[in-house]
A and B are shown apart, each in its own frame.
Chain A
Amino acid sequence: MNKNAFPGADDITRVVLENGITILCRTNFNSPSVVLRGYLPAGSLFDPEEKLGLADFTASALMRGSENRDFQAIYDTLESVGASFGFSAGMHTLGFGGRALTEDLPLLMGILAEGLRQPTFPDEHIEKLRAQQLTGLALRDQDTGDMAELIFDEILYAGHPYRHTGDGTPETIQAMTRDDLVEFHRSKFGPRGMVITIVGAIEAEEAIAKVEAMLGDWQNPAQPPKPTVPEMEPLVNRVRRDHKIEGKSQANLMLGFLGPKRLDDDYMAASLGNSILGRFGLMGRIGESVREKSGLAYYAYSSLSAGQGPGAWYVSAGVNPANMEKAIELISEELTLFIEKGVTGEELSDSRSNYIGSMPLSLESNGGVASALIRIERYDLGLDYYRHYPDLVSAVTREQILAVARKYIDLDRLAIATAGP
């Protein structure tokens, strides 16, 4: 393989099985291991309001027992050979992933197929998982970062499914039954819309044959269509909530706005703009102002979270409670400057070359390539996306960044969440 080659149509193998499973493979014999990753549309968007956390609870129970193996046997299969595998629920999809030495890929595939098709949801494990989840929620309640994020989403996505974390609440987790999990699995899991990527020291034909053997005959007539996500209107005015957690030394801040979807035309301009605003170098302009010049925080950066539904564009910081208002002021000043004056040619050129130059590193490992293949499939970007990527990045102009900044950033409609002492 040419070491300079990014994944593309000539070295990614993509097939769709009759039952709707899409498989993407890319071979890499540099290391004797393989990564297996994928998803199916069974995420927490399906959670009923009174059973928040259902998709997550179900995902966590898939490897607690199958018709073939009990919990200890499942993990003995994996851990005995140094392999890892797990399921986790996201908003839109149930994700899965793991890795193994190539010789052990069949074991990994077996665990995947059993988890999807034959989970038994043993009662005793439901109770153990319940206790673990309740402890997780109790720890979350005490975590200033988690709570600032949770409250930010509640403000920004008021009335929208994205306002939920997917973890559920103590009440819903307490009330969850085995029947709820069995029913969620029966009615939501199926091969349609499922994606599997396999990257590593294996030929594509061999990998595809293995998937076909394990999952090719899987059917579920009950499987619903992919859920749709409602649109979201920006806030009509500034909303702020401060959440008190006693006994902490630091307070966390999240503030921001709605942002573009991944497939919106202005996504790439927003992404480069965000890099300049709060990432490039040591956290961009915001890091420069809040950390480097003022010494107010260990970290302060901005993020763009763009997926299938309405995205979020936000700033996060951890600050001493006494400096909170000053930090908000400094960040607001940077946002104002950003929407009034935009970015300089030099800044844009720096972030462009960062994006293009860092591609070999992000696509170096099997895991990095698997993530890229998943992105290609999830957003239908085309198999040659990473070959075109430098052109897409280079095409972004200062005017486009200014336009996308003015479209989304409005200080009068700011969502602000803080959590701390």
Chain B
Amino acid sequence: MPDKFTKKTLSNGLTVMLKEIHTAPLISSWLWYRVGSRNEVPGKTGVSHWVEHMQFKGTPDFPSNVLDKAISREGGVWNAFTYLDFTTYYETMPADKIDLALRLEADRMANSLFDPEEVASERTVVISEREGNENSPMFKLSEATQAAAFRVHAYHHKVIGDMADLENMTRDDLYEHYKSYYAPNNAVMAVAGDFETEKMLERIKELFGEIPAAPSPRQQSRPEPEASGELRLTVEGRGETTFVQACYHFPAASDPDFFPLTVLDSLLAGASNLNMFGGGISNKTSRLYRALVETELTVGMSGGAQATIDPYLYNIVMVIPPERTPEEALTALDAEILRVQEEKVSEAEVSRAVKQARALFAYGSESITNQAFWMGYTEMFADYDWFLTYLDKLAAVTPEDVQRVAQKYLQKKSRVVGTYLPVNEEMPNE
């Protein structure tokens, strides 16, 4: 994929990333804010995600529900995501219409109203979103394991937030969060597509250049102390299916160990697809699939990690059939992990993981939206160079590296094992 791009910082601190791609008459614009559940404290969990919802509820210039219609009218698509480390808003538009998206984003960086009635109405929408999540056994299980894995660090709660906070947060809590974190010096504007770099940069300066910087938004986090033993927990609920989730602490994306661990993940659980759009590849030849699904100890298995600012988790999820037990699956998992710790993997397995990553990158490069995504996303936890050198860094991984990180990170004493157990006894008075 073409790697020529321009990175500039405006005087108010806004980082601008531009990449010309002239294959289709499209432009994708992504505005990223360095704020997510990582920046939240108890009592205000879920505030970042709720603020994201409120960003669609109007400014004096773009009243509520006008902006989404305006984008759609021009044939654009738009969406927003809140995650652990970031909140992002994107629009992909016909190239000659992108100005609307740029004006909209500049406007709502500073001028959103947070009208109290809109806040009240959106409270029940967000609660409904959480209730939809709660319908899923895996949401309940992963919420419990995440909370157990992080006692101190803010990664301990789900991005959607705890129900208690969704019920009690006020309009002022939301507005204060918005005013603290939505500022040019806490944001990255990434634009890719069919434009001329000089003109695009000028237009972004015109629209965003006058927005004042905010006092440095709070970014320090409370590091999670080293785990001092394996934690096990059980979540009970209706249903017939047992799930087991094993979580290991995983380093930050900027840690050099991230890359040998990525190769290790490919070998153990199959290549993870890092693209925001478009599916990945199957994992049926991975070591864990063979050890768990081929042997019928589980009927499904998946694993993967995320690129994050602070150390997060490597998750392995196993779906247990009725005639098997979670312990049997865990024993087989541990045997496979012991194998990568004791025996060096082959050079061929490492180069296979690199080829898989190369193919997934090629698929991702078809989409201009995905290309703009990568520029901004990597700036949230490292920088765009992380993406540009990704394949080289994977290619430099040796079998010794893979063995070393397997020994260092996949330790029983620093993991959480959660089990979702179906219970269906008749309830009294029902």
Contacts and interface: CB of A to CB of B under 8 A. Distances in A.
Interface of A: 3-4, 30-33, 71-72, 75-76, 78-84, 86, 99-101, 104, 127-128, 131-132, 134-135, 138-139, 141-144, 245-250, 280-282, 288, 291-298, 318-320, 350, 353-361, 364-367
Contacts of A83: 281, 359
Interface of B: 1, 22-26, 56, 64-65, 68-69, 72-77, 92, 94, 97, 120-132, 134-135, 137, 194, 237-241, 270-271, 278-286, 290, 293-294, 296, 299-300, 319, 321, 352, 355-360, 362-363, 365-369, 427
A3 B357 contact: no
Contact of A357 (B97, B284, B319, B368): B97
A143 B241 CA distance: 12
A43 to B, nearest CB: 22
Contact of A360 (B25, B122, B123, B319): B25
A361 B363 contact: no
B367 A365 contact: yes
Given A79-B271, A247-B238, A101 B75 contact: no
B362 A101 contact: yes
B69 A350 contact: yes
Given A249-B131, A294-B121, A364-B366, A72 B240 contact: no
A79 B282 contact: yes
A350 to B, nearest CB: 5
Given A128-B296, A358-B75, A135 B123 contact: no
A3 B25 contact: yes
A420 to B, nearest CB: 8
Nearest to A85: B282
Contact of A3 (B22, B299, B365): B22
A366 B366 CA distance: 7
A309 B163 CA distance: 44
Contacts of B271: 79, 82
Given A32-B362, A247-B238, A249-B135, 13 more contacts: A80-B355, A82-B281, A84-B280, A84-B281, A101-B362, A127-B296, A128-B293, A128-B294, A139-B239, A281-B65, A296-B128, A318-B132, A354-B74
12 contacts: A72-B285, A82-B271, A84-B281, A128-B293, A132-B300, A142-B241, A247-B239, A248-B135, A298-B126, A361-B26, A364-B367, A365-B366
A30 B68 contact: no
In this complex, which of B74, B124, B271, B365 has the most chain A Cβ atoms within 10 angstroms of its Cβ?
B124
A141 B137 CA distance: 13
A293 B120 CA distance: 10
Contacts of A350: 69, 72-73
A250 B73 contact: no
Nearest to B353: A82
Contacts of A248: 134-135, 238
Given A33-B359, A131-B299, A281-B65, A358 B77 contact: yes
B128 A318 contact: yes
B73 A354 contact: yes
Contacts of B131: 249-250, 318, 320
A295 B123 contact: yes
A367 B370 CA distance: 14
A358 B76 contact: yes
B23 A30 contact: yes
B385 to A, nearest CB: 22
A99 B356 CA distance: 12
B128 A298 contact: yes
A367 B77 contact: no
B241 A354 contact: no
A402 to B, nearest CB: 22
Contacts of A291: 125
A131 B240 CA distance: 13
Nearest to A144: B135
A128 B323 CA distance: 13
A30 B364 CA distance: 12
Contacts of B22: 3
Nearest to A247: B238
Given A128-B296, A298-B125, A75 B282 contact: yes
Contacts of B357: 82
A281 B68 contact: yes
A282 B299 contact: no
A360 B356 contact: no
A246 B72 contact: no
B368 to A, nearest CB: 7
Nearest to B53: A298
B321 A131 contact: yes
B24 A79 contact: no
A141 B421 CA distance: 16
A101 B319 CA distance: 32
The 5 lowest CB-CB distance pairs between A and B, nearest first, are A357-B75, A82-B359, A247-B238, A295-B121, A249-B131
Contacts of A353: 73-75
A135 B239 CA distance: 11
A298 B239 contact: no
A292 B64 contact: yes
Contact of B69 (A33, A80, A280, A320): A280
A80 B286 CA distance: 10
Nearest to B368: A364
A361 B93 CA distance: 8
B285 A79 contact: yes
B125 A297 contact: yes
Contacts of A280: 69, 72
Nearest to A4: B25
Contacts of A354: 72-75
A358 B93 CA distance: 8
A330 B270 CA distance: 46
Nearest to A74: B284
Contact of A292 (B65, B279, B296, B358): B65
Contacts of A298: 125-126, 128-129, 132
Contact of A76 (B68, B137, B285): B285
A254 to B, nearest CB: 15
Contact of B23 (A3, A127, A138, A294): A3
A84 B23 contact: no
Contacts of B130: 249
A11 to B, nearest CB: 14
A122 B283 CA distance: 20
